[in-house]
Amino acid sequence: MLNVAIVGASGYTGLELIRILYRHPEVAVTCLTSEQSAGKRISEIFPTLRGRCDLVLENLEPVRVAEKADVIFTALPHKAAMEVVPTFLKLGKQVIDLSADYRLSDPQTYGAWYEPHLNPANLKKAVYGLPEIRRSKIKGAKLVANPGCYPTSIILGLAPLLKQGLINPHSIIADSASGVTGAGRAAKVDSLFCEVNEGYKAYGVGGVHRHTPEIEQELSLLAGEKLMVTFTPHLLPMDRGILSTIYAAPSKETTTEALIKLYDKFYSGEPFVRVLPQGSLPSTSFVRGSNFCDISPLIDSRTGRIIIVSAIDNLGKGASGQAVQNMNIVCGLPETMGLEGLALFP
Amino acid sequence: MLNVAIVGASGYTGLELIRILYRHPEVAVTCLTSEQSAGKRISEIFPTLRGRCDLVLENLEPVRVAEKADVIFTALPHKAAMEVVPTFLKLGKQVIDLSADYRLSDPQTYGAWYEPHLNPANLKKAVYGLPEIRRSKIKGAKLVANPGCYPTSIILGLAPLLKQGLINPHSIIADSASGVTGAGRAAKVDSLFCEVNEGYKAYGVGGVHRHTPEIEQELSLLAGEKLMVTFTPHLLPMDRGILSTIYAAPSKETTTEALIKLYDKFYSGEPFVRVLPQGSLPSTSFVRGSNFCDISPLIDSRTGRIIIVSAIDNLGKGASGQAVQNMNIVCGLPETMGLEGLALFP
Amino acid sequence: MLNVAIVGASGYTGLELIRILYRHPEVAVTCLTSEQSAGKRISEIFPTLRGRCDLVLENLEPVRVAEKADVIFTALPHKAAMEVVPTFLKLGKQVIDLSADYRLSDPQTYGAWYEPHLNPANLKKAVYGLPEIRRSKIKGAKLVANPGCYPTSIILGLAPLLKQGLINPHSIIADSASGVTGAGRAAKVDSLFCEVNEGYKAYGVGGVHRHTPEIEQELSLLAGEKLMVTFTPHLLPMDRGILSTIYAAPSKETTTEALIKLYDKFYSGEPFVRVLPQGSLPSTSFVRGSNFCDISPLIDSRTGRIIIVSAIDNLGKGASGQAVQNMNIVCGLPETMGLEGLALFP
Amino acid sequence: MLNVAIVGASGYTGLELIRILYRHPEVAVTCLTSEQSAGKRISEIFPTLRGRCDLVLENLEPVRVAEKADVIFTALPHKAAMEVVPTFLKLGKQVIDLSADYRLSDPQTYGAWYEPHLNPANLKKAVYGLPEIRRSKIKGAKLVANPGCYPTSIILGLAPLLKQGLINPHSIIADSASGVTGAGRAAKVDSLFCEVNEGYKAYGVGGVHRHTPEIEQELSLLAGEKLMVTFTPHLLPMDRGILSTIYAAPSKETTTEALIKLYDKFYSGEPFVRVLPQGSLPSTSFVRGSNFCDISPLIDSRTGRIIIVSAIDNLGKGASGQAVQNMNIVCGLPETMGLEGLALFP
């Protein structure tokens, strides 16, 4: 039985971690922290948990947290994570960090998109936690940098093509849309129900969204050369889900059949990636609350462009689900343990 | 291991049964039927299931279904259920019927609200499957009539008061609202997204909704005298959830504290009823996807009326969750088995 | 041509006033104020207005505002309104106050539900601005207290019955539900999209909502005796609309036909009240963006209770639409001027 | 005063035409037809209209319709339109056709994407009704082919660039998303609330959506050479609105400032196109219920791609609003007459 702490438990990714771990047979959640709500029961913040998880939220005192847990999930804003992760590592704890702090291997890049990095030493030890392309490295990692939601949907969508050199790596356009949980639980006018409901918009257009360097880092590694992408995020009037529609120029002629075959092979044996049969297309509805990533690659035979559509739950495979998958890997547990839940539909 | 069939699997209650049973450690789903979609895989209808449950939907041939299953859930429209349930019972199968066909103990009443009853013989053997008030009878039942969604929320909301004679049984007004899954999955203009979205309305006002006699039957039994209720359903622009706000005149003075204490005691030990502490109120959000019923009783001290607010997921405790709870009871399994899932929020 | 100022223009009722007045042929909007956003163009806050209304928001300096306008709408929180209204009145301006400050004729009652009243002198001069029951008094008023949204839907729903003495005035239960615009535009966690979406809950249960004394004041006047009501508000996962389902005990036998006839007569000639024919029921969808109140009275013949269902747009007839209707009345303009817009559906 | 008929009035575009024309000072709606609901009042189908427009729906008998109207809007499915339009034209009526039947100038192309064209003779006379690029031709037209919703958003987004030769015409990718009203009002499972709500998906991916040839026809004319586009539509969980995010390769270096300047000039004087200032981006929320098209062009300076974001209401500028704009033009009325309504927000 693993003792697990969730640092930053009063946000949506924290809640989703608790929801998943509650049904994980090898985990006991022993410690939850929240700066804003310390002293309250987590079930006062999230009444879904009432009677099932009524732990009292604690202040974030790293040493005390470490005393209570073998594995620590840090579900904090960027910067806040790298202020505490070093302590957890020093005390020998296994850390799964859901922030952006350890995702970019180059501290210069981190500095350019976020702010000066405080902990480059551990950055070197961190493993980017996308199991489908890094499983073997994750196995031995003490610090897993859990991927961002948009990057997960885009990297999984492109990995087979880039790995095989089947597209021009400089032709990639990723057009993505996310549910509002992606904006977190902070009180701001832009996230009010009446501001978001019944509307749809692009934001961070033109290469300014912070997930851009993360996407480029991983795609460059897959391609074997440095590439840049055009990435446009959009905000959807719904709670959960990310759908990415990705465009690329093939480097040689292909067909939808051949593409599906390629993806089927690449993801064969993967428990959480479903390559859809021809004629089907992903919807965020079909992965909501699950750890699945559904993918459809196809060719626009008129213009010759390859189009890949991928869908995840941004709180599932895009955050907390994937974090538990990473925990299972680093702890030597069956990778799907606790993640068997089917999507909730409708 | 129980072999389980779901008759009428291509509706929303059918899907919810599959979703729940997929994680039930003592159940194997062996047979799914659908008149409209026979021959297709269930995962073509509901892509959430892809790769996890890909059974082919069969025509409803009762004898063949019975050969494959120990327990049969009938998730059919009324009338269609009582056309096949007798065969299942004759063949010695355990039946959990989610339709209205075996809920009203008096076939005359059924005839008045629905149509002539085809199977009064089995009606006598059926047990109304609300575990919190009928657990001991459910234990030995071969045929469980799974309660309606509105009735579940209202009966659980009033049981402690009626049982103790604390309200005037003729003063009850139940004002309820349901998500759109309650209207089923049939293609009709009234259930189109654009007809329902961003709107709220009452329907079946004035004592004409078919859940009325079911509510009255059970409340009358609890009160020990025949009573009638004013019941007004409303349609909410959301997928899942029922909230009932119930009004009644107390038969003697009381306080909110006393009411909560009474409810706490009445539901003490119940795994799926949560009586909320003073100051909290139920929301459908907090039970979505779970088998919980959250309840708050209180007094309007200015007008002296008692108000009870109760919330369930209409597909959970209001249908498929409760059906699995009943299956656990009749089959001698732990009552919460397979139903441990926490609500999905957001 | 009337020069009009809107004080507190950066909230939803402010925006709705601008939207309506923009098409009013006898109005020029000359001044908008906002404490938080002074110096910005209103069209930066609400890009719907871009190119049509680009006024710069001003600080609330009452004398300067009064210089620019003949009619002043105060769309401020309670207390803030009564801090500036006296100045406007002293300077001879016509005021339509959308806050709660001048709705309760008894300053003691105001004090009990809000806080000590700062301006009892003008309270005496204020007229409660529900045209259907106060038109003649509104005509000569310098200060109109624009009714609350819930009260509008409930008072219009009950006026014909109370006026005729057809119900027991002590039997009234009003069960209402509102869209989220009713909660305003302030940044708070409770109004975040993900907290509200796909959920439904009661709030302020048990006679504690501040609209209660307003409802009781007006219903008491109609009934000719002091009465109290049980009023339960609920929060709907949608932007606009209030639906009230109201229950009362008839004082003598009646029928749905007779009730509709009564309502038809009572509201005959009213441009914004639609009594629906038997068999139809109101929906908030059918009044969204309009100034209509749709009403259906009926009898539950089984229990003998009268049920009235009424629907308005909380920003329309429940706030800004009604405010413009009041302006038309006090300024001697045709009552429907600028309010001809049909509901936006879907 | 123009007498106007709406053929196919019981769909959403029909309703939106009525809503707009109701406030048009020079129009009297004299005839509404509906095959399914003939004999009913339009206000029974759409209770928003009750008391304002209670016309009885008629069967579609072209000669009788023509007797009652000077201008006829055909809001029919494709094929049904070209079965009646010839009669209207023969009788000298002005026709605004909202179907696809007269949009593609080449009957071969129509045949390839739809079915054999029945009326190529009138096809030659039809003018594609996008005022911003065809105003002068629309003026004299007897038959206006009102543009599709997706094409409107995309053509307006690209016209300034193609006209000036500033992009590679073979590099265009249009990624669009539409609200559910775009799917019409027919009863089908795919459009049910619970199937659509809280989900997002692509459909018609890979160059198979029927708006593709319409987009290509108009963009080719603007570019002065034949081009093809990659067009991907998506379905949004909301009622109204289309947002298109369009990607293209510049043919020479440029800046966001220069692009906005170009667009400002191109659309200068246009009453319904708003080019947003730098730093702002369109949202469907800001055009809902209006006839505006909001546009932001910008450059992704990292990858050098041009991105244009455009937003319309699919029922407004994407259908009925634009149809009324066309009517105003062909009838010599002020172009904005009846279209002054500001967007409804929230």
Residue with tokens 């008096």: B106
What mean pLDDT do residues B9-13 have? 98
Q: Which structural domain, as residue segments, surrounds residue D85?
A: 2-125
Whether residue A114 is found in the same domain as residue A45: yes
Minimum-distance CB partner of C173 among B247, B256, B299: B247
Whether residue A161 is found in the same domain as residue A212: yes
In angstroms, rounded to a whole number, what is the distance separating the alpha carbons of residues D200 and A284?
Answer: 6
The residues, ordered by sequence, that sit 6+ positions from B346 with a Cβ below 8 Å of its Cβ are A12, A180, A181, A239, A240, B285, C194, C195, C197, C198
Burial class of residue D230 (count of CB atoms within 10 Å of its CB; 0-12, 13-18, 19+): buried
**What pLDDT does residue D248 have?**
98
**What pLDDT does residue A123 have?**
97
Region for D304 from its dihedrals, namely left if φ exceeds 0, alpha if ψ lies in -120 to 50, beta otherwise: left
Which of D189, D200, D228, D235 is the best substitution to test chain A (most A C-beta atoms within 10 A)? Answer: D200
The two tokens of residue C104 are 């309760």
Query: Cβ of C287 under 8 Å from any chain D Cβ?
Result: yes
Whether residue B88 is found in the same domain as residue B172: no
What mean pLDDT do residues C233-244 have? 98
Q: How many CB atoms lie within 10 A of CB D334?
A: 11
Long-range contacts of C103-110 (CB under 8 A, 24+ apart): C103/C128, C103/C145, C103/C147, C103/C148, C103/C151, C103/C214, C103/C217, C104/C213, C104/C214, C104/C217, C105/C217, C106/C217, C109/C213, C109/C217
The residue of chain C with its CA nearest to that of A192 is C192
Tell me the catalytic residues of B: 149
The residues, ordered by sequence, that sit 6+ positions from B337 with a Cβ below 8 Å of its Cβ are B24, B25, B26, B328
| 3-state secondary structure string across B198-209 | CCCEECCCCCCC
How near does any CA of chain D get to the CA of C253, in Å? 30
The residue of chain B with its CA nearest to that of C301 is B206
Is A51's CB within 8 Å of B274's CB?
yes
- Cβ-contact B311, B166 below 8 angstroms: no
pLDDT tens digits, B114-124: 999 999 999 99
How near does any CA of chain C get to the CA of B207, in Å? 6
Helical packing angle, B149-163 and B256-266, nearest 10°: 110
* CA angle (D331, D334, D336) in 5-degree steps: 115
Q: Which of A31, A53, A149, A293 is catalytic?
A: A149
Whether residue C73 is found in the same domain as residue C219: no
Which of A175, A178, A220, A257 is the best substitution to test chain D (most D C-beta atoms within 10 A)? Answer: A175
Residues in chain B within 8 Å Cβ distance of C287 = none
Is C240's CB within 8 Å of D285's CB?
no
Is B194's CB within 8 Å of D237's CB?
no
Residue B320 placed within a domain? no
How near does any CA of chain D get to the CA of C225, in Å? 35
Whether residue D89 is found in the same domain as residue D154: no
pLDDT tens digits, C260-287: 999 999 999 999 999 999 999 999 999 9
Is B200's CB within 8 Å of C229's CB?
no
Is B181's CB within 8 Å of D194's CB?
yes
User: ipTM of this predicted complex?
Assistant: 0.97
In angstroms, rounded to a whole number, what is the distance separating the alpha carbons of residues B293 and B312?
Answer: 5
In this prediction, residue B196 has a pLDDT band, given cuts at 50, 70 and 90, of: very high
- Which residues 175-234 of D have a C-beta within 8 angstroms of C? 180-181, 198
Is B187's CB within 8 Å of D189's CB?
yes
Whether residue B194 is found in the same domain as residue B68: no
Residue D14 placed within a domain? yes
Whether residue C300 is found in the same domain as residue C168: yes
**What pLDDT does residue A293 have?**
98
CA separation, residue C4 to residues A73, B236, C92, D329 (Å): 56, 38, 14, 33
Q: Which of D149, D194, D293, D331 is catalytic?
A: D149
Whether residue A105 is found in the same domain as residue A221: no
The residue of chain B with its CA nearest to that of D184 is B194
How near does any CA of chain C get to the CA of A200, in Å? 13
Tell me the catalytic residues of C: 149
Bond preceding residue A271 cis, omega within 30 of 0: no
The two tokens of residue D164 are 């000036």
**What pLDDT does residue C137 have?**
98
Minimum-distance CB partner of B194 among D180, D194, D195: D180
Beta bridge partners of B244: B176, B310
In chain B, where do the E strands start and end? 2-7, 27-33, 71-74, 94-97, 127-128, 143-145, 173-178, 201-202, 230-235, 242-248, 273-275, 293-300, 305-312
- Cβ-contact B34, B55 below 8 angstroms: no
CA dihedral A303, A305, A311, A317 (to 10 degrees): -170
pLDDT tens digits, A67-117: 999 999 999 999 999 999 999 999 999 999 999 999 999 999 999 999 999
Q: Which of A329, A277, A278, A346 shows the shortest CA–CA distance to B51?
A: A277
Whether residue C62 is found in the same domain as residue C159: no
Minimum-distance CB partner of A239 among D198, D283, D286: D198
**What pLDDT does residue A278 have?**
97
Last residue in a domain, options B125, B142, B165:
B125
Q: Residue A212 sits in a domain of what CATH number?
A: 3.30.360.10
Which of C109, C168, C172, C175 is the best substitution to test chain B (most B C-beta atoms within 10 A)? Answer: C175
Q: Please, what is the end-to-end C-alpha distance for chain D in angstroms?
A: 34
Is A185's CB within 8 Å of C192's CB?
yes
Q: Which of A99, A154, A156 shows the shortest CA–CA distance to A272?
A: A156
Which of B12, B16, B192 is the best substitution to test chain D (most D C-beta atoms within 10 A)? Answer: B192
Is D19's CB within 8 Å of C344's CB?
yes
Residue B144 placed within a domain? no
Whether residue D157 is found in the same domain as residue D290: yes
Minimum-distance CB partner of C302 among B228, B281, B283: B228
- Which residues 236-255 of D have a C-beta within 8 angstroms of C? 239-240
Is A341's CB within 8 Å of B346's CB?
no
Query: Cβ of C296 under 8 Å from any chain B Cβ?
Result: yes
Is D230's CB within 8 Å of A205's CB?
no
Whether residue A241 is found in the same domain as residue A287: yes
Whether residue C196 is found in the same domain as residue C287: yes
Q: Which of D209, D215, D100 shows the shortest CA–CA distance to D156?
A: D215
Is A12's CB within 8 Å of B346's CB?
yes
Residue A338 placed within a domain? no
Residue A53 placed within a domain? yes
Q: Indicate the average pLDDT of chain A.
A: 98
Q: Indicate the average pLDDT of chain B.
A: 98
DSSP-derived secondary structure letter, C11: S
CA dihedral C163, C167, C168, C172 (to 10 degrees): -90
Per-residue model confidence as pLDDT tens for chain D (346 residues) = 999 999 999 999 999 999 999 999 999 999 999 999 999 999 999 999 999 999 999 999 999 999 999 999 999 999 999 999 999 999 999 999 999 999 999 999 999 999 999 999 999 999 999 999 999 999 989 999 999 999 999 999 999 999 999 999 999 999 999 999 999 999 999 999 999 999 999 999 999 999 999 999 999 999 999 999 999 999 999 999 999 999 999 999 999 999 999 999 999 999 999 999 999 999 999 999 999 999 999 999 999 999 999 999 999 999 999 999 999 999 999 999 999 999 999 9
Is A207's CB within 8 Å of D300's CB?
yes
Last residue in a domain, options C92, C125, C158:
C125
Residue B341 placed within a domain? no
pLDDT tens digits, A221-275: 999 999 999 999 999 999 999 999 999 999 999 999 999 999 999 999 999 999 9
Minimum-distance CB partner of A187 among C12, C181, C188: C188
Burial class of residue B224 (count of CB atoms within 10 Å of its CB; 0-12, 13-18, 19+): exposed
**Number of structural domains in chain D:** 2
CA dihedral D332, D337, D338, D342 (to 10 degrees): 150
Q: Residue A65 sits in a domain of what CATH number?
A: 3.40.50.720
- Cβ-contact B51, B26 below 8 angstroms: no
- Neighbours of B, requiring at least 3 CB pairs below 8 Å, are A, C, D
Query: Cβ of C47 under 8 Å from any chain A Cβ?
Result: no
**What pLDDT does residue A69 have?**
98
**What pLDDT does residue B42 have?**
98
Is D228's CB within 8 Å of A256's CB?
no
In this prediction, residue A37 has a pLDDT band, given cuts at 50, 70 and 90, of: very high
Query: Cβ of B136 under 8 Å from any chain C Cβ?
Result: no
Residue C324 placed within a domain? no
In chain C, where do the E strands start and end? 2-7, 27-33, 71-74, 94-97, 127-128, 143-145, 173-178, 201-202, 230-235, 242-248, 273-275, 293-300, 305-312
In angstroms, rounded to a whole number, what is the distance separating the alpha carbons of residues C275 and C272?
Answer: 10
- Cβ-contact B181, B235 below 8 angstroms: no
Residue B141 placed within a domain? no
Which of D44, D45, D193 is the best substitution to test chain B (most B C-beta atoms within 10 A)? Answer: D193
The percent of residues in chain B predicted with pLDDT above 90, rounded, is 100
In this prediction, residue A142 has a pLDDT band, given cuts at 50, 70 and 90, of: very high
- Neighbours of C, requiring at least 3 CB pairs below 8 Å, are A, B, D
